[in-house]
A and B are shown apart, each in its own frame.
Chain A
């Protein structure tokens, strides 16, 4: 058999770094897995007879005479309905004490959907949070991250969104989750009685960072099984993608690649795009929606990780603490859902987009008034009204603890307009004012 030759075992390493090993080996194929002293590794470079492998679990304790045997195939996941309700590690091994999952073995990180075969996303995903539903409406097949500083409750918000969303499956991909957060997700899913529709792939901070590189592809291979084979609506949660990108930079650094901005590999954009672009509305009705978390350093979105992410995803949800009201809000300025116009006014009330724009514009006026106030200037009557409006708007609509229907959100906004402003000050189309202005 031709493959026999590639299962040959080697026992001499030429080079070892913290994340990679190199050895002389014949007939090695690109992306192929190997076992190095019991640790899983993957071929990332071949040059003549030299192969370089990234060792997922780290190279600590690997000697130059380590035993290396090549497996002949890239990483795979066994997929079947038995995945439901289970927790796995980065290699797809159960960590919940349950049995191995039997099913069809599939390569992870598989091919892309032909863009022409995609359908336009059109199903609204309501979350009850007005900062999302009103200002940045989510649509199935969308990919969108939360941008948040590490002290924001992004994992809680994400769990809320996932459990309220009307989907068939939720796939959690946890990268560098603290053990507490892992247990939090587990508890939330269990107490919501939703465990049966959830599949989790988890790498905690206790495990080696390079292992994280497998998590998104594992989660998405499972998602594709349910969305493509079973025509289900699948929601994938990826947290925290910043830690994923950090792992990428570790490997590229050890391979002596020239770093681009913020010491990230030059291929960061393509690497992230391969993951996020798995979000899709399929022609047969299934869909994959991706909600991710990208943690920021002190709100800095110009860093290479959030920056590249922003160019790939269909918007971002920016969480921040509002000091005026003590609430955590979805920032209406920095947040955006690019697909919102596919559902706003179509799947929601006709006044949706105008109400959204007017309420954000008035909130911007309040920010200007606040700047004036901080600079010690007198405020006009309009400024004062804006400031009062902003407080009400933050508490009743922007705060993440809001949980109401979209019609209620729109009615609340009209109520606030009428309370603080004249009709002309809102700048809304006359026909809508005539219909919705509360007397």
Chain B
């Protein structure tokens, strides 16, 4: 029996409900408004009054309106057909909605129930299975999409019956399992899971032991992110957060990409709709859109659904991870999600923490980041969820609650800097403040030694050190003047400029330079370090400047040339002549 209630208070999208019967924290309810029903979620219960956040505009709602509780939390539908989809934060399919404007109270099904999938069984009758074990497989695009024992199943089961190979829709019962009490349970190709709860169903979650390539030099070479790792990109507006995230989405080495546009600009999502169907995945040669799912709750869409959107996105990733796939979750921006929490906390008149954010902000963020990770499944296969979030610090000041809380939770830090952006040094990742904790992992060091080059980590440290020394030299030059410092300071400064222009900077809009494979990154780091290791003897700083500017120019042309190519070799030759 479902509980009911009635509206007794409204402030914006926070509604107070007088409840008749039991309600649960995070339980969903529908509020009746004329002919439509508005979805809402319980966020606080006090006596017989429940505070619910409404996922829609509450315009026109009035005291006394009927409320019906659903007896369940917000759930994601999981099954074949999730890829290439465009959902809102509550997993409504935006592509099947009618009309140009979003209609209040219109909820659409996330999955196509008619479409037939070619099913191949993987389990046999009599097999003992537990939650998340693979029963069968369908091809979703080019990816093997595993049909699993639903995650909510507790204890062990025996496969009583499983259908043979053939075409079925997602609602077909593909297997019947018998539980420990001898009860038969049917399994279809679709299952539901509450988004706020992490999907477990794996054997263990070891430390990440390899890197995820992105084609972005400042990440892969200087601060690599692990497969199954976490990272975040804070930066003031206009520093290229979104461009960097899109580059990672296009080039990231992953089987499945979920992009959560959380409280950001609608036109940025449009860019993904428009470009991704045309772009090619550099690893498989397939269309990028085939491996991408977009969860989009843009800044003008209801605030409460913003929070849901990141959880929905994470749940989809965990689902694909359980199939032994490598998933990459990009959330832009987690600050908007935190602001949504702040708005609700404020309306509930809770005592505020720093900057009026709720006091448990830090716990919420670290809990969310902890859902990422590389896992070993029950059958021994690997799966991973790599998570990169952006943070939009108020006023570009990194000493604010969201940045500080995220810094505690994420292992990679890519600090975008206003100053570098002003100078058009993109990606504007600060080379000195940014870090990747993974470079300190022995597993990762070993992986890089074996898969990139022996001694790679030391070389990266050498390059980073040169950048730091160059900055120090530059500070001295600025204080003492060009003539006030020894020549070696100028040389040091220009060596760091060389690394900056050739390795750190990358033209995201150039078809060749935008994506730099690891082999090429290795070649260029080698080349640049060789030059930096040389001792020069310039007569004056003008000569030093001219020499390095010339080098930078030629090396930049190399970055713009295909690798390997005749053009590339020509510039290489030119470089030899200059540095000879």
Binding site for B on A (CB under 8 A): 26-32, 44-49, 74, 107, 109-121, 141-142, 228, 257-261, 266-267, 269-270, 273-274, 277-283, 301-304, 307-308, 310-312, 314-316, 333-334, 336, 338-339, 341, 353, 357, 360-361, 364, 371-372, 375-378, 380-382, 424-425, 427, 429-430
Contacts and interface: CB of A to CB of B under 8 A. Distances in A.
B59 interface: yes
Contacts of B500: none
B355 A261 contact: yes
B97 interface: yes
A48 B8 contact: yes
A221 to B, nearest CB: 13
Interface residues on B, range: 35 or more
Nearest to B351: A258
Contact of A110 (B58, B99, B101): B101
A30 B100 contact: no
Contacts of B303: 267, 270
Contacts of A316: 238
Interface in B382-440: 392, 394-397, 422-424
B267 A46 contact: no
Contact of A429 (B10, B64, B560): B560
Contact of A26 (B59, B61, B63, B101): B63
A24 B331 CA distance: 44
Given A361-B423, A375-B481, A115 B94 contact: yes
Interface stretch (B269-277, B370-378, B447-455, B460-468): B269-277
A377 B481 contact: yes
Contact of B299 (A270, A280, A336): A270
Contacts of B560: 429
Contacts of B238: 310, 315-316, 336, 338
Contacts of A301: 395
B432 to A, nearest CB: 19
A116 B273 contact: yes
A114 B100 contact: yes
Interface stretch (B193-201, B211-219, B336-344): B336-344
A339 B268 CA distance: 9
A24 to B, nearest CB: 12
A141 B100 contact: no
A378 B542 CA distance: 12
Interface in B478-493: 478, 481-484
Interface in B97-140: 97, 99-104
Contacts of A339: 267
Given A116-B86, A116-B273, A30 B59 contact: yes
B71 interface: no
A414 B99 CA distance: 48
Given A49-B63, A112-B102, A302 B237 contact: no
B480 to A, nearest CB: 8
B64 A277 contact: no
Nearest to B510: A429
Given A114-B97, A117-B100, A424 B509 contact: no
B1 interface: no
A311 B237 contact: yes
A177 B550 CA distance: 53
A111 B60 contact: no
19 contacts: A26-B63, A28-B62, A28-B63, A46-B9, A47-B11, A74-B60, A112-B298, A120-B271, A259-B356, A266-B339, A266-B342, A266-B346, A270-B339, A270-B343, A312-B265, A314-B267, A377-B481, A381-B542, A429-B560
Query: Which 7 A-B residue pairings sit nearest by Cβ, starting from the closest?
Result: A302-B395, A273-B299, A277-B300, A377-B481, A310-B237, A29-B62, A116-B94
Contacts of A308: 394
A13 B363 CA distance: 43
B64 A27 contact: yes
Given A120-B274, A427-B553, 7 more contacts: A113-B100, A114-B94, A119-B270, A121-B270, A266-B342, A269-B263, A280-B266
Interface in B276-321: 296, 298-301, 303
Given A228-B100, A266-B343, A361-B424, A29 B266 contact: no
B265 A121 contact: no
A261 B265 contact: no
Contacts of A360: 424
Given A115-B270, A257-B346, A270-B303, A30 B61 contact: yes
B572 interface: no
Given A30-B60, A302-B395, A311-B392, A115 B298 contact: yes
A380 B545 contact: yes
B561 to A, nearest CB: 10
Contact of B60 (A32, A277, A341, A424): A32
B298 A277 contact: yes
B542 A382 contact: yes
A107 B57 CA distance: 13
A257 B60 CA distance: 22
Contact of A30 (B58, B97, B478, B553): B58
Contacts of B8: 47-48
B482 A380 contact: yes
A30 B10 contact: yes
Contacts of A113: 100-102, 266
B165 interface: no
A233 B476 CA distance: 54
B516 interface: no
Contacts of A364: 422-424
Contacts of B381: none
B209 to A, nearest CB: 37
B88 to A, nearest CB: 8
B61 A429 contact: no
B352 interface: yes
Nearest to A48: B8
A111 B299 contact: no
Contact of B301 (A112, A307, A310): A112
